[in-house]
Structure formats: C-alpha cells, structure tokens
Amino acid sequence: MTDKFDVAVIGAGPAGYVCAIRAAQLGLKTVCIDKWVDDKGKAKLGGTCLNVGCIPSKALLDTSHKFHEAHRGFKAHGISLDNLDIDVPAMIKRKDKVIKQMNMGISGLFKANGVEAALGTAKVLAGKQIEITAEDGSVSVISAENIVIATGSVPIEIPPTPLDNDIIVDSTGALEFSEVPGRLGVIGAGVIGLELGSVWSRLGSKVTVLEAQESFLALADQQIAKESAKIFKKQKLDIRLSARVVGSEIKGNEVEVRYLDTAGEEKTETYDKLIVCVGRRPYTENLFAADAGINLDERGFVFVDDQCRTDVPGVFAIGDVVRGPMLAHKGSEEGVMVAELIAEKVAQVNYELIPSVIYTHPEVAWAGKTEEEVKASGEEYKVGTFPFAAIGRAVAASESDGMVKVIADKATDRVLGVHAVGPCAAELVQQGVIAMEFSASAEDLQLTMFGHPTFGEALHEAALAVDGHAIHMPNRKR
C-alpha cells in the first residue's frame, strides 16, 4: 500500500464508504480502512448497516411479512394455503446471502472508483498519521492530508440484563435465532425494538415490549404515535410503557425479567429469549493516541461542528460516531459533504430534514417538524390529515390502517412536516421531504397531480385537508 493519501477514511459503514467513494470521484487519492471480517477473515464492507443493521433487519422483516400475509392476510383475498411453515435457518441463510451480495457490491464500487480498501484496525496518531493493525498482528503506518473518522456505534448494554448471547441477546443476536422463540421479551420500544419484535411476532412469538418511558415514540408526532400504538395493539404486540427493567436471571432455558410498572411496583415476566434494544453508543475504543488532539463531547461522541470538523484541522468525523440521529442516510450525507469540503467545494447537510422510518407493517415515517414542536415554537399552523381507509388503492390492497398528516405554516403556507403511518409511509414521507427541500407550500402539493389509484393520493388529500378541501372525505367545518 502507498503510505501517503489525500483522504483516509476510518470505517466502511454507510458514512465512511460513501465518503470514500465521493472523495475518489472528486479525484482525491483515497483509502478506506475497516476491520470487519467474516469467519474466513475476509473483509465485510458496509459496517453495522449492512452486516447487522438496516439491511439484515429488513431482509427478516420482508420474510416475516410474507409469512404473516400468507398466514393471516391471504384468506380475505380468497387464497388458501395448506401446511404453511417457516424454515428459520433458510430465512437466516437468505438474509446472509443478501448481505454477501451487498458486501461484494461495495467492494466493486471501491474498485470502480479507485478507492483503496485496507483491512485492519486503525488508530489515529498525532500529525495526521494512522496506525493500522492487520488481522495477523502486523502494524503499518500511513499518513493522509485529511482523515475522516466514521467508526460508527455499538449496542448499549445495561447492568440489569447482561448478555449471555444465547438467551439474552442484543440486536445482532436477534438476527440469528435458529428457531422462533415461544415467549420473546424486548427491552426498549425504539425503532430497533419495534422492528425486531415485529419480525418474531409475525412468525409466531408472543412478544412483550418493555419500555421505560411513559410516552410511546416520544420523538414522533404524537397523533401518529397514538395511531401506530393502536395498530400494533391490534397486531398483538404487547407494548408496556412506564416499564423499567431492573433485573434478570437466567434459569435453565429461560430468563426471568424484573421491571417496575407505572405504579413503581415490581413485576416479573419469563421469556425464552430477551432482546436488549436500549440504544447505541458511539464507538471510539482505542481509536485515538493520547496526543491525537481529538476531543469527545460529554456523551462520548466525537466533537464536531456543523460541517463535521473536529478540533484538529484536516480531521473530520461523520455518522453514528458524531451528534445527531443514528441513521445510515444521515451519515452518508455527512460523508458526501465532507468529501466535497475536502475538495474545496461548498457543501452542507440539511439537518432539519432527516427522514425517520420504522419498518413495521404498516410503516411509520416522518420528516420535518411534529405538531408538538410547531406548537412549542409558537408558530401559527394548519394541519391536514387523511386516512388510508378512504384511499381506493389502500382498500383494494387490504392495507387501509393508518393516515397521512401534513403540517403547514398558517401565514406562509409552507409545509413544515409530513407524517404517516400506513402502507408505503416511508415513500410518501420521502415525497414530503422533496417538497420541503424545495420549500413547497401546502398549495403546491394541492396543485400537484397524483396518479390514481396510488397510496400517494393520501398525501395529496392530506395537503388538501390543510385548507379544508379534501375531496374524498367530509371536511371539518372551520
């Protein structure tokens, strides 16, 4: 390996690999260092997102959704199936195949763009040098004009539920069960807990989600959160709020979990498996030499400004290892921005418009401001909502649970937030993101023609409802 680079990126997750590709596209001599390997010691580019996060969880969500549809949904369409069964090892194998295909995809993109891939554990030294320790223990040092730290995050562990990686697992272990657990406990009703709980619930587990907070999906618009909670309840996901887990004990093949309920009383539940999904923390273990000069913030994230610059000139940090929501697309956008800044271009990330999606069925998604945030800011606003129950495409598909909500500024009509729970919610909210990125008004959405019959018509009707003239629903008198 040449030892002098324009850009050295540490971490090949969605933040790091995207940054490396963009930097190479801009003509910068780029290396991307990552330590993730398979059981044969071969590089597995793609980080958490590809190896144990976004993609494998969606692979299992897709399989379990198909199974659940066949089991519960087909009958209404007049389709009958006998002896329906789920082969869990085959499902896991398919998931692993999807990951492998995408790992190879990133390797191919690195080759096509001229990014050098280095396998090993990196440590940032003073003077923009990086020490790389290979799998066999050999050490080399490279230097780079610019260093981009993209080392991501790891699951948080809590003292009441130490992992044994068999009965008590984290999100990674929950992607590898060899059979459907009869009773499954999930700690944390965040995005990851709800998605993984849904996978196994659809396959037949009796799932209980224990959540310490008293409100459900505290960061989402609360009208959408309440609607989502109703839908999940119908799906028999037992979500217990104000339930703080305080202890656990593995007894044979099961685990006894103790939690404090709303009244502060201790309750005990027994599960065959327990998934701990209480959040993630930035990963910076052994990453910096003592004199590297990089500072962390009070929560352990690498401290950066709005343009991802650390306190050391020429050293940037992006993705889960820095402040902001831990989302793949947020890190990728930061990666592109940093590559462009290094190439002396003007670049920024619009942190006001980061879409959030929960890939349950139906999906929950949002972008922009919630009604609670707009209210708190004192801005005067208008709201339009529209239920999927009045959308022909949704009824035809037996997918009529949920709604779309559009919030607009009362004075300027500018769209401030788009929120949805329902079929294709992620894609509909993405249409809202495009509208908001271009500073669209509710009227712009009203005057846009939507194909019929589409799920997107719910977004159109919600925008019309903002001014009280939705067509396929009686409007509230104003």
Residue 187 interacts with ligand AMP (CB under 6 A): yes or no: yes
Which option in ligand AMP, ligand FAD, none does residue 431 bind, with CB closer than 5 to 8 A by kind?
none
Find the shortest distance in angstroms from Cβ 387 to ligand FAD: 26
Name the burial class of residue 467, with classes exposed (0-12), middle (13-18) and buried (19+) by CB atoms within 10 angstroms of its CB. middle
Residue 152 interacts with ligand FAD (CB under 6 A): yes or no: yes
- The β-bridge partners of 364 are 358, 421
Length of the chain: 478
Question: In 3-state terms, what secondary structure has residue 127?
Answer: coil
Instruction: Between 47 and 368, name the residue whose CB sits nearer to ligand FAD.
Output: 47
DSSP string, 219-284: TS-HHHHHHHHHHHHHTT-EEESS-EEEEEEEETTEEEEEEE-TTS-EEEEEESEEEE-S-EEE--
Which option in ligand FAD, ligand AMP, none does residue 454 bind, with CB closer than 5 to 8 A by kind?
none
Stretch that binds ligand AMP, among 24-32, 114-122, 277-285, 433-441 (CB under 6 A): 277-285
Q: Is 452 a catalytic residue?
A: yes
The correct pick among 172, 213, 223, 431 for binding ligand AMP (CB under 6 A) is 213
What Å distances lie between residue 309 and 113, 318, 338, CA to CA?
25, 9, 8
Which option in ligand FAD, ligand AMP, none does residue 211 bind, with CB closer than 5 to 8 A by kind?
ligand AMP
State the CB neighbour count (10 A cutoff) for residue 110.
22
Label the pairing between strands 139-149 and 415-422.
unpaired
What Å distances lie between residue 420 and 228, 326, 442, CA to CA?
9, 20, 16
Which option in ligand AMP, ligand FAD, none does residue 210 bind, with CB closer than 5 to 8 A by kind?
ligand AMP
d(CA 142, CA 129): 6
Find the shortest distance in angstroms from Cβ 472 to ligand FAD: 32
Residue 324 interacts with ligand AMP (CB under 6 A): yes or no: no
Instruction: Between 326 and 347, name the residue whose CB sits nearer to ligand FAD.
Output: 326
> Which amino acid is located at 165 in the chain?
N
Residue 163 interacts with ligand AMP (CB under 6 A): yes or no: no
Residue 314 interacts with ligand AMP (CB under 6 A): yes or no: no
For helices 54-68 and 88-113, angle between their N-to-C axes, nearest 10 degrees: 140
d(CA 175, CA 185): 15
407 and 368 Cβ atoms separated by less than 8 Å: yes
Instruction: Between 279 and 293, name the residue whose CB sits nearer to ligand AMP.
Output: 279
Spell out, one character per residue from 234 to 273, where the chain touches ligand FAD: x when CB under 6 A holds, - when not.
----------------------------------------
Nearest by Cα to 237 from 209, 216, 196: 209
Determine which one of 71, 452, 460, 469 is catalytic: 452
Instruction: Between 183 and 281, name the residue whose CB sits nearer to ligand FAD.
Output: 281
d(CA 248, CA 168): 9
d(CA 21, CA 109): 8
Residue 422 interacts with ligand FAD (CB under 6 A): yes or no: no
The correct pick among 61, 99, 194, 278 for binding ligand AMP (CB under 6 A) is 278
Residue 210 interacts with ligand AMP (CB under 6 A): yes or no: yes
For helices 328-342 and 16-25, angle between their N-to-C axes, nearest 10 degrees: 30
314 and 128 Cβ atoms separated by less than 8 Å: yes
Spell out, one character per residue from 245 to 264, where the chain touches ligand AMP: x when CB under 6 A holds, - when not.
x-------------------
Residue 173 interacts with ligand FAD (CB under 6 A): yes or no: no
What Å distances lie between residue 241 and 209, 214, 226, CA to CA?
8, 5, 13
Residue 331 interacts with ligand FAD (CB under 6 A): yes or no: yes
Instruction: Between 194 and 459, name the residue whose CB sits nearer to ligand FAD.
Output: 194
Which option in ligand FAD, ligand AMP, none does residue 190 bind, with CB closer than 5 to 8 A by kind?
ligand AMP
Question: In 3-state terms, what secondary structure has residue 339?
Answer: helix
Residue 276 interacts with ligand AMP (CB under 6 A): yes or no: no
The correct pick among 190, 384, 423, 456 for binding ligand AMP (CB under 6 A) is 190
Residue 430 interacts with ligand FAD (CB under 6 A): yes or no: no
Residue 169 interacts with ligand AMP (CB under 6 A): yes or no: no
Residue 423 interacts with ligand FAD (CB under 6 A): yes or no: no
Spell out, one character per residue from 123 to 162, where the chain touches ligand AMP: x when CB under 6 A holds, - when not.
-----------------------------------x----
d(CA 108, CA 204): 39
Q: Give contact residues for ligand AMP (rule: CB under 6 A).
A: 158, 187-192, 210-213, 244-245, 277-279
Q: Give contact residues for ligand FAD (rule: CB under 6 A).
A: 10-16, 33-36, 47-49, 52-54, 57, 121-122, 150-153, 171, 192, 283, 287, 319-321, 326-329, 331, 359
